Amino acid sequence: MTVLIEKHPIRDWLIKVRRDLHKHPELGHEETRTTGKVKAILMELGIEIREMNGLETGAVGLLGSGNGPVIGLRADMDALPITQLNDVPYKSTVPGVMHACGHDCHTAIMLGVAKSLVETGLAKKLKGRVKFIFQPAEEKMTGARAMIDAGVLEKPSMDRIIAGHMFIDLPVGQVGFFKRVSHASADTFHLTIHGKSIHGARPHMGIDPIIAGSQFLNSIQTIISRNTDPADQAVISVGSFNAGTAPNIIPDSATLSGTVRTFDENVRKRIVERLSDITLGLEKSMGVKVDFRYIDGVPVAPVDDIVTTDVKRAAESVLGADNVHYLDTKMGAEDFSFFSRTIPATFMRVGCGNPDKGIVHLPHSSRFDVDEDALVVGVDVLVETVKRFLVDGTSG
């Protein structure tokens, strides 16, 4: 595998593109330079650019022609507000901003797929079209919805869509897929509990919002343990609980906020209902007034069995079956879910870890990096996927 990667015709080009993007990271909805670079490369390759009305960043390219099926390939482009600490030649030149989640790699891979299809002549054999989607603001969980609102699902509509992500837990040269769902839903909730301030020596004359908040914390534990089927996975986490400034004063109010994650939309709805019931119960039982806000974030990200099987088989033909795996789904979220709940989809993890090179740091770390051979792996698996679907007709 290593020998093939080192001799790959666009390996050096991929690394050059990725490193350029890595040196010039941009936060969500600010990816102006990145968008310009993506469009310039697509145009150099003769790929049609589809403008998205109302979007300042992001790009869509269309390759192929005819009335055949359309396959979407999505890459996210945004960086994170993190200061890069690892000293590499392609270190971020933007203070406080870093590609710490591999989105520079995702963008380079999708551009590499376009380049390979064109330069190998496969583009002329396509019996359908490839829709390249370069999405802004995945980290803010707003980019997918913005592109959908701008019409990315239309003209043409897609028969299937694929996304991927660098995965440090797999060694370079391996990839992974998911069954049923690839990511959890992720919502947030916020409570302001209004009581009545009083001196700590006379608690009976006040209404204690801290006690009410503590009761809320205890009560929501029953949502998972007693209101959720043990076969379903869900987690409620409270990440902040703030109240008061003095040790001898019961404060007027307390605030709490947290997250809800699950793999099932029905469970998601049930949790919202139970949280609301518990807040109403607090008001009746403890005399407080509760302002409760529940903010829908991103939904569960389903994967389609047929699409997953097709891409997995393509990966096995490129990498060998021993290097292709099914992975356990974790509670992380991805706004690709807005695509995958609408279009048959799959999500591929691309192994990029290499302890021998010191590439072991997790995403969102200030020292995150990838083994750049993973770029070649991602390109070749996706090119083979497109070939099978739109040239050979052996998928779907």
pLDDT of residue 144: 98
Question: Could you tell me the two tokens for 118?
Answer: 């064109």
List, edge to edge, every strand of the sheet that includes 129-135.
48-50, 59-64, 129-135, 70-76, 160-171, 345-353, 175-177, 324-326
- From the DSSP assignment, how many helices (H) and strands (E) are in the chain? 10, 16
pLDDT of residue 5: 75
- The whole-angstrom separation of Cα 290 and Cα 275 is 12
Number of other residues whose CB lies within 10 A of the CB of residue 379: 26
CB of 360 closer than 8 Å to CB of 353: yes
Number of other residues whose CB lies within 10 A of the CB of residue 30: 17
pLDDT of residue 3: 42
- The whole-angstrom separation of Cα 271 and Cα 335 is 21
**What's 1-183+300-391's CATH class?**
alpha beta
- The whole-angstrom separation of Cα 203 and Cα 180 is 52
Give domain limits for the chain: 1-183+300-391, 185-298
Classify each residue of 271-291 as buried b or exposed e, where b means 16 or more C-beta atoms within 10 Å of its C-beta.
beebbeebbeebeeebebebe
- The whole-angstrom separation of Cα 333 and Cα 181 is 11
CA 272 to chain centre: 23
CATH number of 185-298: 3.30.70.360
Low-confidence ranges of the chain (pLDDT < 50): 1-3
Classify each residue of 355-370 as buried b or exposed e, where b means 16 or more C-beta atoms within 10 Å of its C-beta.
eeeebebebebebbbb
* Domains 1-183+300-391 and 185-298 fall in the same CATH topology: no
pLDDT in tens, 296-331: 999 999 999 999 999 999 999 999 999 999 999 999
